[in-house]
Amino acid sequence: MKGQLSAEMLILLVIVLGLAIIVASTMMQSASKASEKIEQKTQAVIEKAEGGAKGSAGSPCYSNEDCSSGSCDAYLRTCN
Give the H/E segment covering residue 79. strand 78-79
Handedness of CA 28, 29, 33, 36 (dihedral sign): positive
Handedness of CA 51, 52, 57, 60 (dihedral sign): negative
Question: What is the C-alpha separation between 19 and 13, in angstroms, rounded?
Answer: 10
Q: Concatenated DSSP letters for 32-69?
A: HHHHHHHHHHHHHHHHHHHHHHSB-TT-B-SSGGGBSS
pTM of the model: 0.52
- Please state the length of the chain: 80
Q: What is the pLDDT of residues 9-68, one digit of tens each?
A: 999 999 999 999 999 999 999 999 999 999 999 998 888 877 667 777 888 888 888 888
